[in-house]
């Protein structure tokens, strides 16, 4: 009988440890509550934090609060020097609204003198205090996309250097076989338009704003670009290598611009969808721009905490949780505060509470977990991009990034949305956890908005790290039948405005349920037998392979 005792004992011990781990997991997730989440949100979105803009007293308060919370949880500093904070240099730029002008001339005569803010937004892109552009020719370049993999080139070898380029927002969406159909790729982002204009040696870049092509109204453009804007400081700068200005025009101003050249804006926007499109010169039209700006050198901050992995082999691999801690600060008059309760105090609160739950089961976590609260996201993903370009751990050693930005605050749902659905194997892993709750996983319902390229997970993806961006479901439980439409209206009214505060529409039950789900999913990712992977053929697979080789 003795030969059977040891196997039975081992089986008993295994079952006991499994049951204990299950109980510990259940207990840990229950620490994520409505009270614990809303407490963080109330503090971070309070007027005292002044909208959490980069390099302001509001950011200092935010960073101190996050560090204090991590220390109270027993989360270790995540920087190699033993600190929590990664500083990064910013150049702040504030355009003078009163003196800046944008004039459209026809045959040398003034035809339109546009008003800053309501009709155009523009800024020097070459870090000059003042730029003056006169008699500049204007060329419409459609989407302005150069994509050899799709056999697409909107420039057709036309020399556009020294010209002002006008871009249609978005990327071609008429054919599901190219550019992923309705799903906006990076080619459709405003940042790509400005980058390709620089590459082509253009004098300036204009993006035509329409709500359908942008995915948001003009107020978002005005609120985002009409205040002090930031960029990571360049180590070296050559003004001959970049355009002199970047800009947006309203749909009405754009229509006037084309009409003066005898062209229809609608027809030109439609023409951009043709693969054979060639640049169109706006005959007889010139633009003069006089833009002045002041600059300030400053530092913004990322906060990084760490839970060391317990597995001797896998502890040198990492899973990154991210959430941006910044918002838009105060308005240009210094009166109204952009509190940013949903965007993104909700994400910061979520990562803090998940970190607290993971800390309770740290002995069972195989890989090391990094919690990154990044700054200057609203200015172009600058904090996460700075980390990606100056990583504290090798990207080839990072299994995954899970990014939380503007999470569910309007109640429980029967579904969960994944931005970038199916792009890496985390979708399948996530589906297992969602379906275990009797819920379903759905792809992005608005792929045309290009959300995969609009939050911090994109910075990690650009250096090959498989990135996961969950989004709020829309099939609400125990809510009025039209609740999704109501919430769409609320979000449209609140996004990047002073209205983003805790209000009567908030129902924290959904946030609690979703974050407990994210906690369980995270444990699975952290303890998975292998690192996460992009699906074959994904645009980030090649750089991932390069990073994995480099990390060996």
The CATH number given to whatever domain includes residue 360 is: 3.40.630.10
Please tell me the least confidently modeled range out of 67-81, 211-225, 504-518: 211-225
Q: What is the pLDDT of residue 11?
A: 47
| pLDDT bracket for residue 6 (50, 70, 90) | low
* Same domain, residue pair 148 and 57: no
- For the stretch 338-392, pLDDT in tens is 999 999 999 999 999 999 999 999 999 999 999 999 999 998 899 999 999 999 9
| pLDDT bracket for residue 235 (50, 70, 90) | low
- For the stretch 93-121, pLDDT in tens is 999 999 999 999 999 999 999 999 999 99
Question: 232, 261, 293 — which closes off a domain?
Answer: 293
User: Residue 41 falls within a domain, yes or no?
Assistant: no
Average pLDDT for the chain: 92
* Same domain, residue pair 490 and 420: yes
Domain count within the chain: 2
User: Residue 22 falls within a domain, yes or no?
Assistant: no
The residue among 245 and 8 whose pLDDT is bigger is 245
User: Residue 56 falls within a domain, yes or no?
Assistant: yes
Q: What is the largest CA-CA distance in the chain?
A: 105
Q: What is the pLDDT of residue 13?
A: 43
- 395 has a pLDDT exceeding 70: yes
In 3D space, the residue among 37, 57, 38 whose CA is nearest the CA of residue 48 turns out to be: 57
* Same domain, residue pair 77 and 146: no
State mean pLDDT over 489-499: 94
- Residues 322 and 456: beta-carbon distance below 8 Å: yes
The residue among 227 and 471 whose pLDDT is bigger is 471
Backbone dihedral region for residue 55 (phi beyond 0: left; psi -120 to 50: alpha; all else: beta): left
- 9 has a pLDDT exceeding 90: no
Give the number of other Cβ atoms within 10 Å of residue 205's Cβ. 27
The b-or-e profile of 8-31 (16+ CB within 10 A means b, else e) is eeeeeeeeeeeeeeeeebeebbee
* Same domain, residue pair 79 and 102: no
In 3D space, the residue among 514, 483, 347 whose CA is nearest the CA of residue 418 turns out to be: 514
Question: 293, 328, 359 — which closes off a domain?
Answer: 293
> Tokens 């502890």 map to which residue?
315
- 484 has a pLDDT exceeding 80: yes
Tell me the C-alpha distance between 20 and 546, whole Å: 40
In 3D space, the residue among 248, 292, 288 whose CA is nearest the CA of residue 131 turns out to be: 292
The residue among 15 and 470 whose pLDDT is bigger is 470
The b-or-e profile of 503-519 (16+ CB within 10 A means b, else e) is eeebbbebbbbbbbbbb
State mean pLDDT over 235-242: 55
Tell me the C-alpha distance between 350 and 365, whole Å: 19
- 23 has a pLDDT exceeding 70: no
In 3D space, the residue among 349, 522, 352, 542 whose CA is nearest the CA of residue 433 turns out to be: 522
Question: 293, 325, 347 — which closes off a domain?
Answer: 293
Q: What is the pLDDT of residue 8?
A: 52
User: Residue 2 falls within a domain, yes or no?
Assistant: no
CATH code where residue 164 lies:
3.50.30.30
Q: What is the pLDDT of residue 16?
A: 42
Q: What is the pLDDT of residue 198?
A: 92
Domain that holds residue 358: 49-83+308-551
State mean pLDDT over 314-324: 98
* Same domain, residue pair 284 and 326: no
| pLDDT bracket for residue 22 (50, 70, 90) | low
Between the alpha carbon of residue 347 and those of residues 41, 327, 363, 518, the distances in Å are 9, 12, 25, 12
User: Residue 168 falls within a domain, yes or no?
Assistant: yes
Q: What angle do CA 415, 443, 484 make, to 5 degrees?
A: 50
* Same domain, residue pair 257 and 404: no
* Same domain, residue pair 63 and 204: no
* Same domain, residue pair 373 and 331: yes
> Tokens 């009166």 map to which residue?
335
* Same domain, residue pair 283 and 316: no
- 284 has a pLDDT exceeding 70: yes
- Residues 428 and 405: beta-carbon distance below 8 Å: no
- 19 has a pLDDT exceeding 60: no
Tell me the C-alpha distance between 246 and 257, whole Å: 17
Tokens of 189: 């982002």
- Residues 165 and 282: beta-carbon distance below 8 Å: no
* Same domain, residue pair 79 and 98: no
* Same domain, residue pair 286 and 336: no
User: Residue 145 falls within a domain, yes or no?
Assistant: yes
User: Residue 343 falls within a domain, yes or no?
Assistant: yes
Collapsed DSSP state (helix, strand, coil) of residue 180: coil
User: Residue 185 falls within a domain, yes or no?
Assistant: yes
* Same domain, residue pair 73 and 163: no
> Whole-prediction pTM value?
0.83
């Amino acid at each position: 009988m003795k030969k059977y005792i040891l196997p039975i004992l081992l089986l008993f011990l295994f079952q006991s440890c499994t049951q204990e781990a299950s109980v510990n997991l259940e207990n840990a997730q229950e620490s994520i509550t409505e009270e614990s989440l809303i407490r963080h949100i109330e503090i971070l979105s309070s007027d005292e934090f002044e909208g959490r803009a980069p390099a302001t007293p509001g950011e200092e308060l935010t960073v101190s609060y996050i560090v204090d919370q991590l220390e109270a949880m027993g989360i270790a500093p995540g920087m190699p020097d033993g600190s929590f904070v990664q500083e990064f240099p910013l150049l702040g730029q504030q355009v003078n609204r009163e003196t800046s002008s944008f004039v459209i001339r026809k045959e040398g005569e003034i035809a339109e003198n546009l008003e800053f803010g309501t009709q155009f937004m523009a800024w020097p892109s070459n870090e000059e205090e003042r730029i003056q552009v006169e008699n500049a020719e204007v060329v419409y370049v459609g989407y302005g996309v150069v994509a050899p993999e799709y056999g697409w080139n909107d420039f057709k070898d036309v020399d556009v250097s020294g010209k002002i380029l006008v871009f249609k927002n978005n990327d071609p969406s008429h054919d599901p076989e190219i550019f992923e159909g309705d799903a906006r790729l990076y080619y459709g982002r405003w940042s790509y338009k400005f980058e390709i204009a620089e590459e082509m040696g253009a004098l300036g870049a204009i993006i035509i704003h329409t709500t359908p092509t942008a995915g948001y109204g003009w107020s978002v453009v005005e609120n985002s670009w009409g205040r002090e804007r930031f960029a990571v400081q360049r180590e070296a700068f050559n003004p001959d290598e970049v355009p002199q200005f970047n800009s947006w025009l309203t749909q009405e101003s754009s229509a006037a611009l084309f009409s003066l050249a005898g062209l229809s804006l609608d027809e030109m926007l439609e023409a951009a969808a043709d693969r054979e499109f060639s640049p169109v010169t706006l005959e007889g039209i010139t633009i003069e721009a006089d833009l002045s700006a002041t600059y300030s050198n400053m530092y913004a901050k990322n906060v990084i905490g760490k839970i060391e992995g317990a597995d001797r082999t896998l502890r040198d691999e990492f899973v990154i949780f991210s959430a941006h801690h910044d918002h838009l600060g105060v308005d240009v008059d210094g009166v109204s505060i952009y509190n940013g309760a949903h965007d993104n105090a909700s994400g910061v609160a979520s990562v803090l509470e998940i970190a607290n739950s993971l800390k309770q089961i740290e002995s069972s976590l195989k890989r090391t977990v990094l919690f990154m609260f990044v700054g200057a996201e609203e200015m172009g993903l600058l904090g996460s991009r700075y980390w990606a370009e100056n990583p504290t751990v090798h990207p080839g050693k990072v299994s995954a990034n899970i990014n939380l930005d503007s999470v569910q605050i309007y109640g429980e749902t029967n579904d969960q949305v994944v931005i970038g659905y199916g792009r890496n194997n985390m979708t399948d892993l996530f589906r297992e956890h969602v379906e275990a709750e009797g819920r379903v996983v759905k792809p992005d319902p608005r792929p045309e908005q290009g959300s995969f390229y609009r939050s911090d997970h994109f910075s990690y993806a650009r250096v090959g790290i498989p990135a996961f961006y969950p989004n709020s479901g829309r099939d609400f439980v125990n809510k009025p039948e039209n609740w999704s439409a109501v919430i769409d209206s609320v979000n449209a009214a609140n996004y990047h405005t002073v209205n983003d505060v805790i209000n009567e529409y908030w129902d924290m039950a959904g946030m609690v349920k979703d974050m407990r789900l994210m906690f369980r999913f995270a444990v699975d990712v952290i303890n998975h037998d292998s690192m996460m992977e992009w699906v074959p053929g994904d645009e980030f697979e090649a750089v991932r392979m390069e990073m994995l080789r480099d990390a060996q």
